[in-house]
Structure 1
């Protein structure tokens, strides 16, 4: 299969469901300082066999790099169980601070505003603090370690080997849980 001519350059936006657009705006704009960039009220049939169109408000927050975090406020379908705290391995957002000093300033600011920020945790290549947004999504503020670029370059050289070793080590366990067909879906939808 031929790859597209131009590589994908960046994430335009990542989008998530929210309990309430205004509460979400407060967290991302008032607390984190992102800019509310758009709020589109839409009524769309996505072909999901719901028997009706989906009616929602789609809000976008612009980050310093020009990319966006977006949320869907859809009270007609949303349920309380959609908004339990997500395991951070299932979903989290990581925003980048300029330095470790800046990260600590963010932590102090957010703690003073009533958000509990855990950390900073030293992951070797980054340092991070963690909290939850009003929708149950873990939010991380992170900064690169001084030697982050060197660490990532070293890791790139061995990443394929590490992935192959991990796959060999965990394949049997995953087949027992998910089945081999689920693990081999390449190119089959």
Structure 2
């Protein structure tokens, strides 16, 4: 059993998303964003359930060795899967070392014909934004000089801020989703 000091997840080895087309996705992440395609394989069945569903799985490597991955699975894909998602619903943020680097990326991305907007100053971060071919918002961000102080200041207040938010919004969410959905801590595995 790990000790409390050891009980931390190290990193995000990969995050995975559905894509409309493997080659279109490769173009964006490799040619536009410069992330090398390191792994690409296809299978005929879903691992774990053995459901016959052919798919291609792509992995693009980030500078720290982690990956962003995609599934090209046309059998069950629908146009709705690829509608532009609101950034609250789904987005990924890639970090660079400086504002100058972020702005250089923005210029390069715009020159590739992809609309990259911003920068937006969040106080502790500055970011530029675009959409990938799959409807997911992609952010390139950099920490501002106040980042460390902000994170240190927020740490002790995080749980209190969360509790206040829950109290403030509970009634509205119960009306939309029901108390049972909000209080459920026994999350079933879909399809099992």
Taking structure 1 as the reference length, the TM-score comes to 0.92
Tell me the residue number matched to 2:68.
Answer: 69
SS at match of 1:171: helix
Deviation at 1:48, TM superposition (A): 6.2
Tell me the residue number matched to 2:120.
Answer: 121
Deviation at 1:187, TM superposition (A): 3.5
SS at match of 1:168: helix
SS at match of 2:58: strand
1:180 correspondence with 2:179: yes
Tell me the residue number matched to 2:27.
Answer: 26
Tell me the residue number matched to 2:103.
Answer: 104
- Per-residue CA deviation, residues 63-88 of structure 1 (Å, 9 max, x unaligned), is 00000000001112211121110111
Tell me the residue number matched to 2:43.
Answer: 42
SS at match of 2:141: strand
Tell me the residue number matched to 1:130.
Answer: 129
- Per-residue CA deviation, residues 44-70 of structure 1 (Å, 9 max, x unaligned), is 245669xx4121000000100000000
Alignment size in residue pairs:
186
Change (3 A) 1:38 1:87: same
CA contact (8 A) 1:19 1:73 kept: yes
Deviation at 1:117, TM superposition (A): 1.0
CA distance in structure 1 between the partners assigned to 2:147 and 2:55 by the alignment: 40
Which residues of structure 2 form unaligned runs of 5+?
none
Displaced runs of 4+ in structure 1, greater than 3 A?
Answer: 2-6, 45-49
CA distance in structure 1 between the partners assigned to 2:66 and 2:9 by the alignment: 14
CA distance in structure 2 between the partners assigned to 1:41 and 1:187 by the alignment: 33
CA distance in structure 1 between the partners assigned to 2:147 and 2:25 by the alignment: 32
